[in-house]
Structure 1
């Protein structure tokens, strides 16, 4: 047993770089778990800068000076944020207010439909079961209402923090874009000069994560905007809210599309009933999801590493449980990172060990010749 453990340690930790990489991963995990809330502006700024770095690189490839490329990228980012704040948020607020005002009517209609089930299907469901289900739903909705009221009253200081973030995050994004190369050189100064294992993992992951994150952001915008246009053309209520839900649903593969279908179908049903408009809406929504899965995703993620669906769902559950929204967003890149580390670790350690043996052999040869 001790020999097996010793062989495993020699395989994965015989090189000092492997031990250093393990320490860095452990320190990074501990920092995020313990100081994630404090470092939220820094992490958000890094993510946004990472998303916008592609535009800087593209502008520099057109022989635009670095400072001008950073300035143009930053201005595009600020214009996008201003457009969202001035154009989208008022619509969302208006539709959210209208939705909560009409929610009691929807609940009454739902209760009437539920009460008809025991009459039509007495062998499947009883009136007592329906009343129990309605009681549970009413109590849960009451808890939600109490939480919203308590959140709006007791968390007013959060608004001040949000305002600070609106000032702090753009400043951090600008400096991350402007000084990205010097920051990388500064960080590399703490690492060993020869780092084949880290270089192998970095080269394997950098392009793939960049493509995935930028592609996922583009997919959210395209799917959300297309869904909004479709919902507006059908005259569906709460088009902006539902379009945002559909756009964000692409974050969770295989599950998000199914979950986003529920509110779309419910709002369409309460608005039109079992009419032809409801059927046309579901058909159009199905076509949108089919185009997203079979056309848009292959175009945006053609260079992404293929992961098994079980691995993707497991990554969503694990990282989403650890870091919430951002864990879900980065579930696939993080799973790809874990996969790359598991595959590159023994190979990189073996290559480093071989290089050390070759260096020692050449040194011995030089001494013997001398």
Structure 2
């Protein structure tokens, strides 16, 4: 056993930089698992600043001075941030509360439809099975009501956390944009002077994750706005809530689109029934998903992350289990980081000693 471990150590940890990278990875995982929720505003601000830095670079290439570019970029960010937090999210929350109030009526309609099934398809489902399902669904519906009451009672601490986020995140983004070079130099000063491995990883990460993250922001905005306009045109209820869900669903590939289909179809069905309006809603929603997957994604992500679908799903499950909702949002960048580390990790043949032995 010791010989196996020694061979593994000599193969993968033969450089000082490899050991440093392994230690940084272990520390990062430990921090995410222990105080990830506490660090969430810092990491979210860092990601937002990283995204907005692309806007600042674009303004600089247009001929604006660096300070003016950063100032305009920050004004754009602040405007978008407070528009979402003060207008869009409260509207979506009000519609969510209204939808929760409509659940009993929707449940009664669904129960009336289920009662008919044993008469039409007695060989597939029995009345006893329908009663058991209805009883279980009633228990779940009561649980949803209790959770909503609990959220209402816990509204003051939640409101306090939201206020802290609304103050802390714009402030951190400002300093990350303003003092980017100073903070980068401070972090780099703690690393070894010779760091080819870290440089290779950073180049791959910067190229792929920047394209992916900025492309995702554009995709969320386009899909969300188009969904809102389409649902409004179809007179669908809870348009802001459903459009927000559809827009955010593109952040989680494969899984997100599957999950958000249920509320869209359910709201359309209970509002219109099996009428032409319901089929229009389903058709328009499927058309949005098809155009997103076949037109928008290829245009935005021609040079983005190249990960297998299985790797994406595994990353979502793993990081979501380790870090909760934040882990789901950051699953793709974290999976890209792991892929970049694997691709850049030096092999024994990359070292001067191994090259000299091969020459001899």
Change (3 A) 1:158 1:283: closer
Give the TM-score, by structure 1 length.
0.91
Q: 328-337 or 309-318, which moves further after superposition?
A: 328-337
Change (3 A) 1:223 1:355: farther
Asked if residue 141 in structure 1 is aligned to residue 141 in structure 2, the reply is yes
Give the TM-score, by structure 2 length.
0.93
* Alpha carbons 1:55, 1:73 under 8 Å: kept: yes
Cα distance between partner residues in 2 of 1:94 and 1:127: 37
Matches within 5 A, 1:188-337: 188-337=188-337
Give 2:115's aligned residue. 115
Cα distance between partner residues in 2 of 1:356 and 1:124: 68
Cα distance between partner residues in 2 of 1:37 and 1:102: 33
* Cα distance per residue 1:263-286 (max 9 Å; x no partner): 111111111111111112211111
Give 2:127's aligned residue. 127
Give 1:21's aligned residue. 21
Change (3 A) 1:252 1:120: same
Cα distance between partner residues in 2 of 1:67 and 1:266: 50
Change (3 A) 1:93 1:9: closer
Cα distance between partner residues in 1 of 2:35 and 2:131: 46
Cα distance between partner residues in 2 of 1:8 and 1:183: 36
* Alpha carbons 2:93, 2:241 under 8 Å: kept: no
Deviation at residue 144 of structure 1 after TM alignment = 2.0
Cα distance between partner residues in 1 of 2:325 and 2:221: 17
Q: Determine helix, strand or coil for the equivalent of 2:345.
A: helix
Deviation at residue 65 of structure 1 after TM alignment = 2.0
Change (3 A) 1:86 1:328: closer
Deviation at residue 111 of structure 1 after TM alignment = 0.8
* Cα distance per residue 1:102-152 (max 9 Å; x no partner): 221111101111111111111111111111111111111212221221232
Matches within 5 A, 1:18-57: 18-57=18-57
Deviation at residue 67 of structure 1 after TM alignment = 1.7
- Gapped runs of 5+ residues in structure 2? none
Cα distance between partner residues in 2 of 1:293 and 1:323: 28
Change (3 A) 1:93 1:20: closer
Cα distance between partner residues in 2 of 1:101 and 1:21: 52
Give 1:354's aligned residue. 352
Give 1:163's aligned residue. 163
* Cα distance per residue 1:246-300 (max 9 Å; x no partner): 1111122122212211111111111111111111221111111111001111111
Matched residues, number: 356
* Alpha carbons 1:11, 1:350 under 8 Å: kept: no
Q: Determine helix, strand or coil for the equivalent of 1:193.
A: coil
* Alpha carbons 1:305, 1:336 under 8 Å: kept: yes
Give 2:95's aligned residue. 95
Cα distance between partner residues in 1 of 2:19 and 2:34: 22
Cα distance between partner residues in 1 of 2:77 and 2:295: 27
Cα distance between partner residues in 2 of 1:34 and 1:86: 31
Change (3 A) 1:98 1:157: closer
